[in-house]
């Protein structure tokens, strides 16, 4: 059985949905960010970055959300949540997983935590406004990519789609939220109907009402 150290709607959201989609046996262990439990010495022995999530596999910790998702896909290829090795489709899978993890997610983090990127207290709002523009451009790119497709890779769902759902959900409060884009709105509403997503959101206390 896997153990997932999580916090609701944190970066653990995507691997949590993936575990549910794969119908794997797993245990949830809450890491309370409100008390900064992710900085406790006990947790840091598992994940020295002091971040969430951490997945325990055969007694060994693995961290970084995208790495956990990729590991689960490789360990359970029978679940068909990533394309066959050596195919163009697999290359596209890597392309979008890395884009979401290394491009979109960091831009969102700058928007949510502008104080970490300036020592000028008056500069925080300027950073947030700049990030609104940057993230909106990235949403537009993803919206274009989903034109005529149900999922990022086409007709077949993959781990990328759960990472995308997580990041788009994070961006729901922006001036130009994902729901304001035609294809992103369709994608979000469709994924929100999946049993795995509904199960995870119920467990994490996350409302899906905006996607109805």
The answer on 94 and 40 residing in a single domain is no
Model confidence at 17: pLDDT above 80: yes
Query: What pLDDT is stored for residue 32 in this prediction?
Result: 96
The answer on 152 and 92 residing in a single domain is yes
Q: Determine contact, residues 47/39, Cβ cutoff 8 Å.
A: no
Domain hosting residue 175, numbered range: 88-194
Give dist(CA 187, CA 183) in Å, integer. 6
Does residue 212 form part of some domain?
no
CA distances from 183 to 54, 66, 121, 144 (A): 32, 23, 37, 7
Does residue 200 form part of some domain?
no
Both tokens of 89, joined, read 């489709």
**Model pTM score:** 0.96
Both tokens of 87, joined, read 């195919």
Does residue 148 form part of some domain?
yes
Which SS3 state, helix, strand or coil, does residue 59 take? coil
| 118 band by pLDDT with thresholds 50, 70 and 90 | confident
Does residue 207 form part of some domain?
no
The answer on 168 and 130 residing in a single domain is yes
Question: What is the average pLDDT value for the chain, to the nearest integer?
Answer: 96
Model confidence at 121: pLDDT above 80: no
Does residue 14 form part of some domain?
yes
Query: What pLDDT is stored for residue 119 in this prediction?
Result: 87
Which SS3 state, helix, strand or coil, does residue 167 take? helix
**175-210: pLDDT as tens digits:** 999 999 999 999 999 999 999 999 999 999 999 999
């Amino acid at each position: 059985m896997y153990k997932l150290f999580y916090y609701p709607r944190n970066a653990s959201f995507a691997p949590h949905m993936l575990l549910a989609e794969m119908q794997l046996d797993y245990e949830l262990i809450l890491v309370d960010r409100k008390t900064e439990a992710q900085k406790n010495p006990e947790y840091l022995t598992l994940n020295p970055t002091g971040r969430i999530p951490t997945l325990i596999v055969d007694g060994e910790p693995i961290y970084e959300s995208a790495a956990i998702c990729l590991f689960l896909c490789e360990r359970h290829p029978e679940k068909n949540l990533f394309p066959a090795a050596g195919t163009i489709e697999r290359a596209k899978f890597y392309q979008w997983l890395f884009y979401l993890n290394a491009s979109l997610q960091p831009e969102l983090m700058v928007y949510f935590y502008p104080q970490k990127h300036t020592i000028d207290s008056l500069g925080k709002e300027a950073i947030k406004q700049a990030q609104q523009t940057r993230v909106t451009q990235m949403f537009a790119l993803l919206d274009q990519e989903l034109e005529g497709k149900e999922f990022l890779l086409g007709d077949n769902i993959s781990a990328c789609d759960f990472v995308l759902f997580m990041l788009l959900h994070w961006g729901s409060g922006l001036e130009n939220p994902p729901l304001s884009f035609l294809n992103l709105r369709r994608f979000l509403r469709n994924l929100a109907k999946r049993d795995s997503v509904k199960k995870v959101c119920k467990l994490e206390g996350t409302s899906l009402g905006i996607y109805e």
